[in-house]
Chains A and B, each alone.
Chain A
Amino acid sequence: MTIWMLIFGVLTLLSGAGVVLLKNPLHSALSLIMTLLFVAAHYALLGADFLAAIQVMVYAGAIMVLVVFVIMLLGDGEEPSLATSKKEEIGFFSWAFAIISGASIFGILAYAILKSPSQAASLKIADGSAASLGQSLYTEHIFPFEITSLLILSAIIGAVLLGSERKYQLKPGRGLKAIRDKFSQEQS
């Protein structure tokens, strides 16, 4: 274990705590971007070079741009005149419950780690380069890989459907037929 792992570990936990504790959602998002970059640093330290690059590009790049874009679009998510929102302050019991649940999850995991049999690290270090990962991905795991493209396609269609105008949204009990009828009405 090198000193860098310790430093990045502390930084990861601090910025991770920032996601939860900061009031402004935009500050939370920036804190999460920092967390993701530190996790990418851990990947690089553990020899997973390709995953470190993907983490920076997909997570800290694409996904977080989307999140920040939505935060910019919605503001802090409240329209004062229209919202029936209760006050922003979260009650004492809510925090107490959250801390109890988080601490008990950590306690269970830490106990499991403590009780698990320890064994020496493998001498063979997995080559985390794009070449070896692609070798495994395109031979052994080709079927899940192709299914993933189907998953992403359905996610795109779902996101477009959810984000589109209300008249194209699914109505209860009618389903896709309602949408098809709407489209055919507009075509004619």
Chain B
Amino acid sequence: MSELNFYLYLSAALFSIGVLGVSARRNTIVLFMCIELMLNAVNLTLVALSRQFGTIESQVYVFFIMAVAASEAAVGLAIILSLFKNFYSIKTTDAGALRG
């Protein structure tokens, strides 16, 4: 297996683990961490492609994705805090006000 294919399969597996976690878990903080896992899988793909094609552009994209992830962390955790303030719980099963 070539180096690129190894990393593509690795990040596909990492992304799938993230999807599995978002589907299975009920704790919003764990959901948030699974989203970070998926973002990292995408970043790993981009860096592996940068190595493959010898260009710096995809590393620049990874830099931007990290900046977006940092701001997402700030806003997401603030949303989790206000969820706790409103429902006294951060389980997704408790925040079902929109369910008919």
Contacts and interface: CB of A to CB of B under 8 A. Distances in A.
Interface residues of B, number: 76
- The SS class assigned to the B binding surface is helix
A101 B56 contact: no
Interface in A78-103: 78-79, 82-86, 88, 90, 94-95, 97-99, 101-103
Given A39-B43, A151-B67, A126 B73 contact: no
A176 interface: no
Interface in B52-85: 52-57, 59-60, 62-64, 66-75, 77-82, 84-85
Interface of B: 1-10, 12-21, 23-30, 32-34, 36-37, 40, 43-44, 47-48, 50-57, 59-60, 62-64, 66-75, 77-82, 84-85, 87-91, 93-94
B81 to A, nearest CB: 6
B89 A83 contact: yes
B17 A13 contact: yes
- The SS class assigned to the A binding surface is helix
A3 interface: no
A5 B16 contact: no
A32 B19 contact: no
A84 B70 CA distance: 32
A95 B26 CA distance: 11
Query: Which range holds the interface residue count of chain A?
Result: 35 or more
B54 A74 contact: no
A102 B37 contact: no
29 contacts: A16-B18, A25-B30, A32-B33, A39-B43, A39-B44, A42-B44, A47-B51, A48-B50, A54-B63, A55-B66, A73-B81, A82-B88, A83-B91, A84-B94, A85-B89, A102-B17, A109-B12, A109-B16, A121-B4, A122-B52, A126-B55, A127-B56, A128-B56, A148-B64, A148-B67, A152-B70, A155-B72, A159-B75, A162-B78
Contact of B75 (A28, A71, A140, A158): A158
Given A16-B18, A77-B29, 6 more contacts: A19-B30, A46-B47, A77-B28, A109-B16, A113-B5, A151-B71
A51 interface: yes
A169 B53 CA distance: 48
